[in-house]
Amino acid sequence: MTDRTSAESAAAQPTSPWAPFGHTPFAVLWVATVVSNVGTWMNDVGAGWLMTELSPSPLVVAGVQAATTLPVFLFALLAGAVADIVDRRRMLLVVNGLTFIVVSALAALVALDAMTPGLLLVFTFLIGTGAAFLAPAWQAIVPKLVPREALGSAIALNSMGINVSRAIGPALAGFLIVTVGLWSPFAVNAASFLAILAALWWWRPPPEPARRLPREHVGGAIIAGLRYAANSGPLRATLLRAAAFFAFASAYWAMLPLIARQVLDGGPTLYGMLLASVGAGAVAGALILPALRKRLGPDLTVGVGTLGTALVLLAFAVVPNPVIAVGASGLAGISWIAVLSSLHVSAQTALPDWVRARGLSIFLTVFFGAMSGGSLIWGQVANLWGIPVALVVAAAGALLLIPATWHAKLGQGEALDLAPSGHWPEPAVTLPHPDDRGPVMIQIRYEIAEEDQKSFRRLMGDLARARRRGGAYGWTLMQDAEEPERFVETWFETSWINHLRHHERVSRADRDIQAEVQALHRGAGAPAARHFLALHSKQDVS
């Protein structure tokens, strides 16, 4: 599906890395997606090159990259929440259909020589908006295409397909621009959407299990995703490393059309060759990445990839030679896939299934926010002081942030079991119709010996973050002034429905923390939760 899905790694690898092709739905959608991605890369090359003809300003040309990535920054959170709520196949059909209409109109306007810089940015933004709504849904359907034991190989094959299309699309676009015309990449991209629409129409996923609770509202789902991210140390570390890398790596993607045209004095064929070299390097990187990551670990892999990206930026700045540029672009592809894949794996392992699309949408927001902001910054720097200066500054910044962000370790979630534990007992309630009532207050009392209280407070900090990830707010831990060995844990949730959702979401990792806390409890029996409902009725704000 997209670069955003290519790095997911959640299951043990099967005997053969080609095993997912034995599952017809995966094979059909994989082929259709490769065709669609070839068209997307052709569209990107055409838009970047067309803008160099419409406006030579580095800031305006960099605006194409910003218009591509800004929609994901703006809409990914909404898209992730929607993808966790609605029928994903139907969502993919609708969004792909609307995007097909947009790219067809773009192709027609370019063919009629009616395009302007502002209009091109508008169309690029609309296409990017479609991609923003597609990405979380694509991520979420991969486990439905293959059995769990084949999931890792399926994701690796998606990565391979993405980078094969990255290698084919730009080269084909450059050839068509020279031989047919600048409108042709846009027309091919429009036609490529027919393949993905046909495949989605043919695919019939297995029916979803019946829901015990009503669907979340979009606003509450977004808040739940943000709450989870804010209280997940593994995900926060991943987001920090992502922002640091993409803000500086964006200089490469933003400046590449101008590097080909102005620095290297080339044409669309050279531009296509540079992007094709990136794709070929990414394919090679995908092949060597498992061994590299096993040998270096995720942090060193990202460090090496960042170093490679900085070297590419410096090569473009100080050695303006087309042959060297093509070789450097291959290194850029290897470095890009090494960093992107490692960051994706770290994000995936930090997320349970119930919030996966939303959590990954937050990752995408950081990813594309850094890419959009970086593109505009480097375009302005190039506009003021020249392209080589922008590239050197970006390379220096990328290198400086390696030690500055080293404390944010990747892959922390790999040791966590985030599957639902189901260990919380069904809450006892005798009040009639409690579902629409809220807020809910939950209290648990503990008896902790003085010598255990330091460990207890430390563990309760971990448990507080676990509670908040599941929907808690206003969490407090109070000590009895009269009986210092008695503690009361209190937290609130917005409604009774949301508290029942919390019961479904509590993970095995949360259960392990809770078990350590309860082992320190000296009272008779395990600490019991008491539930209190507000006296007034309230609509479910989930």
Q: Domains of the chain: which residue ranges?
A: 19-204+215-415, 440-533
pLDDT at 5: 36
Residue 100 has pLDDT above 90, yes or no: yes
Instruction: Spell out the SS3 assignment of 292-348.
Output: HHHHHHHHHHHHHHHHHHHHHHHHHHHCCCHHHHHHHHHHHHHHHHHHHHHHHHHHH
Using 50, 70 and 90 to split pLDDT, how confident is the model at 3? very low
pLDDT at 345: 77
Find the angle CA(98)-CA(102)-CA(103) to the nearest 5 degrees: 115
Using 50, 70 and 90 to split pLDDT, how confident is the model at 2? very low
Q: How many CB atoms lie within 10 A of CB 228?
A: 23
Q: Cα separation of 254 and 51, whole Å? A: 12
Give pTM, 2 decimals. 0.77
Lookup: tokens for 121 = 């940015």
Task: Assess contact for 346 and 234: CB atoms under 8 A.
Answer: yes
The residues facing 182 across adjacent strands are: none
User: What percentage of the chain has pLDDT greater than the value 90?
Assistant: 27
- Regarding beta strands 440-447 and 486-493, do their DSSP bridges make them parallel or antiparallel, or are they unpaired? antiparallel
Q: Cα separation of 302 and 295, whole Å? A: 13
pLDDT at 395: 92
CATH 1.20.1250.20: does it fit domain 19-204+215-415? Answer: yes
Using 50, 70 and 90 to split pLDDT, how confident is the model at 238? very high
Most confident of 139-148, 261-270, 301-310, 533-542: 301-310
Residue 443 has pLDDT above 90, yes or no: yes
pLDDT in tens, 306-317: 999 999 999 888
Per residue in 480-498, is it b (16+ CB within 10 Å) or e — as a string? eeeeeeebebbbbbbbbbb
Using 50, 70 and 90 to split pLDDT, how confident is the model at 300? very high
Q: Cα separation of 332 and 51, whole Å? A: 23
Task: Assess contact for 494 and 471: CB atoms under 8 A.
Answer: yes
- Regarding beta strands 440-447 and 473-479, do their DSSP bridges make them parallel or antiparallel, or are they unpaired? unpaired
Most confident of 13-22, 39-48, 420-429, 482-491: 482-491
User: Which three-class secondary structure state does DSSP give residue 94?
Assistant: helix
For the chain, the first-to-last Cα distance in angstroms comes to 30
Residue 406 has pLDDT above 70, yes or no: yes
User: Which three-class secondary structure state does DSSP give residue 394?
Assistant: helix
Q: Which residue has the higher pLDDT, 139 or 327?
A: 327
Per residue in 267-284, is it b (16+ CB within 10 Å) or e — as a string? ebbbbbbbbbbbbbbbbe
Using 50, 70 and 90 to split pLDDT, how confident is the model at 432? low
User: Which three-class secondary structure state does DSSP give residue 480?
Assistant: coil
> What is the residue type of 135?
A
pLDDT at 12: 37
Residue 490 has pLDDT above 80, yes or no: yes
Most confident of 1-10, 263-272, 452-461: 452-461
Task: Assess contact for 16 and 48: CB atoms under 8 A.
Answer: no
Alpha helices in 146-267 (DSSP H): 151-179, 184-202, 218-230, 233-258
Under DSSP, the state recorded for 424 is: S
Task: Assess contact for 26 and 154: CB atoms under 8 A.
Answer: yes
Task: Assess contact for 162 and 171: CB atoms under 8 A.
Answer: no
Most confident of 267-276, 487-496, 533-542: 487-496
CATH code that applies to domain 440-533: 3.30.70.100
Q: In angstroms, what CA-CA distances link 194 with 94, 177, 289?
A: 13, 22, 33
pLDDT at 302: 92
pLDDT in tens, 166-216: 667 777 887 888 788 888 889 999 999 999 999 999 998 877 666 677 778
pLDDT at 486: 93
> What is the residue type of 501?
R
User: Which three-class secondary structure state does DSSP give residue 81?
Assistant: helix
Neighbouring residues of 518: CB distance < 8 A, sequence distance ≥ 6: 526, 527
pLDDT in tens, 125-161: 999 899 888 887 887 777 778 776 665 566 656 766 7
Under DSSP, the state recorded for 354 is: G
CA-based radius of gyration for the chain: 25
Q: Cα separation of 33 and 25, whole Å? A: 12
Mean pLDDT of 24-42: 88
Using the Cα atoms of residue 181, residue 183, residue 189 and residue 191 in order, give the sign of their dihedral. negative
Mean pLDDT over each residue of the chain, to the nearest integer: 83
Q: Cα separation of 50 and 205, whole Å? A: 40
Mean pLDDT of 500-515: 89
Mean pLDDT of 518-529: 85
